[in-house]
Amino acid sequence: MTRPSAEISNVALSVVETGSGRPFVFQHGLCGDAAQPAQVFPGHIGWRSLTMEARGHGASEAGPAHELSIATFTKDLAGVIKSRDLSRPVVGGISMGAAIALRLAVRHPDLVGALVLARPAWLTNRGPENMQPNAFVGLLLRDHSADDAKAAFEMSDTFRQLEIDGPDNLLSLKGFFARKPQTTTSELLMRISADGPGVSENEVRRILVPTLVIGHERDVVHPIAYARRLAKWISGARLIEITPKADDAEAYRNDFRQALTSFLEEISYEA
């Protein structure tokens, strides 16, 4: 794994590369880092994964808080793709990364050769209801110490609902209370949860590149209905429903890797 850097709009960004071969630009989710896509990237199939750690994530600088948005992250990613002279790579992402990839495919179609949307947390609207657990944690972290925020969260109705309906989502949210710096974590959770990809259904329907959509059940933050909807909107898109992470994390990762392997091998064959 290598970690070269890029500077976009005077903000230093970390770009992590794994594997070798054709480029697959593979973006992480909210408050994640390059380790998230690396867990499900299928190595040794003639592809390399490049992950730009978005502002305030991983080893990247945060920059001004008011610029933390899906639009900014997409602009940064377009800059990284251009600076590396990547010719229409496959672009994809998980959760927030899927929203970034979707916006890039709509706003910069010349930069995207194929698309992977995994566990999408947005369709087109800003601040969808499924993102409210993240926004709630961000608000608690803004107003309390990390320990007090965590205690308040554990007494909330949101916590009790997720124990039943979204145990994997709950595990992720609990980890945010230990994430540093706390101020940046709070800003990200509140700002990105209230944001959206800034595209319309009609624009999504005009996407013409080969597209893979991945989703699974038992996920409050990433409703399977969103994955199914996007797969219907994008002509020729393939939908693969995999083992829920809450049921079996290892089976989830294996299913995810297999879905990517089949898609990337098909793209290679068509090329």
Residues 9 and 143 in one domain: no
Residues 67 and 199 in one domain: yes
Residue 65 DSSP class? G
Q: What is the mean pLDDT of the chain?
A: 96
Residues 184 and 95 in one domain: no
Phi first, then psi, for residue 31 (nearest 5°) are 60, 20
Q: Phi-psi bin for 10: left (phi > 0), alpha (psi -120 to 50), beta?
A: left
| pLDDT score, position 245 | 96
Residues 118 and 46 in one domain: yes
Q: Which residues pair with 26 in a beta bridge?
A: 92
Report residue 181's pLDDT band, with 50, 70 and 90 as the boundaries.
very high
Report residue 172's pLDDT band, with 50, 70 and 90 as the boundaries.
very high
Residues 117 and 241 in one domain: yes
In the chain, where do the E strands start and end? 5-8, 11-19, 22-27, 47-53, 90-94, 114-118, 211-215, 238-241
Report residue 5's pLDDT band, with 50, 70 and 90 as the boundaries.
confident
pLDDT digits (tens, 9 = 90+) for 245-261: 999 999 999 999 999 99
Q: What one-character-per-residue DSSP string does 206-251 give?
A: T--S-EEEEE-SS-SSS-HHHHHHHHHHSTT-EEEE---TTT-HHH
Residues 119 and 133 in one domain: no
Last residue of a domain, one of 139, 167, 190: 190
Last residue of a domain, one of 165, 190, 215: 190
The CATH number of the domain holding residue 18 is 3.40.50.1820
Its domain, for residue 111, covers: 5-126+195-270
| pLDDT score, position 268 | 79
Per-residue pLDDT, averaged over 138-158, amounts to 98
Rounded distance, CA 48 to CA 266, Å?
16
Report residue 270's pLDDT band, with 50, 70 and 90 as the boundaries.
low
**61 vs 11, 14, 50, 52, 178, CA distance in Å?**
6, 8, 18, 12, 19
Per-residue pLDDT, averaged over 153-170, amounts to 97
Residues 159 and 113 in one domain: no
Residues 264 and 140 in one domain: no
Last residue of a domain, one of 156, 171, 190: 190
The residue that leads in pLDDT, 10 or 192, is 192
Residues 117 and 181 in one domain: no
| Cβ atoms of residues 50 and 111 within 8 Å | no
pLDDT digits (tens, 9 = 90+) for 18-57: 999 999 999 999 999 999 999 999 988 999 999 999 999 9
Residues 157 and 115 in one domain: no
| pLDDT score, position 163 | 97
Report residue 8's pLDDT band, with 50, 70 and 90 as the boundaries.
confident
| Cβ atoms of residues 26 and 41 within 8 Å | yes
pLDDT digits (tens, 9 = 90+) for 116-146: 999 999 999 999 999 999 999 999 999 999 9
Residues 52 and 108 in one domain: yes
Residues 122 and 215 in one domain: yes
Indicate the burial class of 221 (C-beta count within 10 angstroms; 0-12, 13-18, 19 or more): buried
Whole-model pTM above 0.85?
A: yes
Contacts of 250 (CB under 8 A, 6+ apart): none
Number of domains in the chain: 2
Report residue 2's pLDDT band, with 50, 70 and 90 as the boundaries.
low
